[in-house]
Homo-oligomer: A and B are copies of this chain.
């Protein structure tokens, strides 16, 4: 076990940061680490917006559901899938990439590229003693995020990333049993085995919450998911993507 892996295994999201901004050097290292991640056929289909403007951060915190740490942190990044750059290359060379960028396949590439980059930035931050928290909550209102950050056509904000010096010490949240996530040669075909693993995990999670809430919260993971996912959220997404040039053909 080396330090890099120890850093990863010690990951927990930080939702309270000290009032110490990251230095420009720290930000540069995080962006360079992000850029070093693999990219599909060298396409580099993402951009990163660093948000420093306090008013913008405040508005992002509000639209993300009132998450104060979106405003109060060492630095706030927004990771975007980006094909504006590829449209620019087409203009520069007299070609047309519209049909390709409209494909579901390329949308997937943009999401994957941006996510690989973000995870490098996250692990790099944690290796420097910083804490991080992904903010999917910005997807509550991407139209507003889009306007706040002045994003051109073919650029989709995907999630935020808070980085900063931790001002709390949360516990590590237990993950699904390895055998439920990892399969050899084929997906687990025995439904009973699969569900038994989830039930075993429920006991772990129930005990985790019971301990940390003095018995106020006792439910397991499967009940949480089964109830949370009964109503779709962010149902405007398809229309927003169409408007931004991604009809997912």
Contact = CB atoms under 8 A, between A and B. Distances in A.
Interface string A216-249: 0000011111111111111101100100000011
A148 B28 CA distance: 43
Interface string A51-72: 1110010000000000000000
B101 A150 contact: no
Contact of A185 (B35, B36, B149, B230): B149
B116 A49 contact: no
A168 interface: no
Main DSSP-derived SS at the A contact region: helix
Contacts of A109: 136
A41 B129 CA distance: 23
B44 A32 contact: no
A233 B106 CA distance: 9
A89 B222 contact: yes
Contacts of A178: 28, 31-32, 35
B119 A86 contact: no
A221 to B, nearest CB: 7
Contact of A100 (B128, B191, B231): B231
Given A49-B185, A149-B187, A175-B35, A136 B28 contact: no
Given A2-B128, A3-B127, A50-B183, 15 more contacts: A3-B3, A5-B29, A8-B36, A9-B36, A31-B182, A35-B181, A38-B134, A89-B221, A89-B222, A89-B229, A90-B225, A93-B226, A97-B225, A104-B241, A123-B123
